[in-house]
Amino acid sequence: MNNRGKQFEKKFALDIKKSFPDGLLIRLPDQQSGYKMSSQNLCDFLFFRYPILYCIETKSHHGNTFPLTNLSQYDKLSCKVGIKGVRAGVVLWFIDHDCVWYIPISTISQMKKDGKKSVNVLSDVKAGYRIIEVPSKKKRVFLDSDYSVLLNLKEGE
């Protein structure tokens, strides 16, 4: 079985531990009710590095656009926006473009308000949406990523 999503979760865990050796990473186990995209979890990972708690959902996607309907954890994550010391977002690997982005849930909320149905790798950064490119270097299949850019997140991101 060739599940890039599960493999990317493992790669994310390795890279974030390398980026923050003094941080605490907790992988929340998948709890699915048997229906597609029906996870009951807040997100894939909770990551703590004093003084910030990060709620991070990881996604991998082929193509230019990531459908926002594929983010089933949106409602749960959006409730965390505005809590002091908490950052909520999605780490998205655009497989075909060899890039990794961190997208704050607040940015996805703005996209939804603007009527957008997807995140476009080619145009949404240029459109002015707050999307952080994670510095990454291509290896054979995966990317080695430096998640220290998460330190630059502001309250509400």
Per-residue pLDDT tens over the stretch 62-78: 999 999 999 999 999 99
- More confident position, 155 or 57: 57
Q: What is the pLDDT of residue 138?
A: 93
d(CA 42, CA 74): 9
* Predicted local confidence at residue 1, as pLDDT: 39
> Quick one: pLDDT at residue 86?
96
What is the domain partition of the chain in residue ranges? 4-152
The pLDDT score that the predictor gives to residue 35 is: 55
Q: How many CB atoms lie within 10 A of CB 51?
A: 7
| Residue 48: strand pairing partners | 24, 53
Q: What are the tens digits of pLDDT across the range 98-149?
A: 999 999 999 999 999 999 999 998 898 888 999 999 999 998 889 999 999 9
Segment 11-43, tens digit of pLDDT: 999 999 999 999 999 999 876 655 555 557 899
Say which DSSP state 10 is in.
H
90 neighbors 72 (Cβ within 8 angstroms): no
CA-only gyration radius of the chain, Å: 15
Q: Which fold has domain 4-152?
A: Trna Endonuclease; Chain: A, domain 1 (3.40.1350)
Token reading at 45:
């990972």
DSSP designation for 47: E
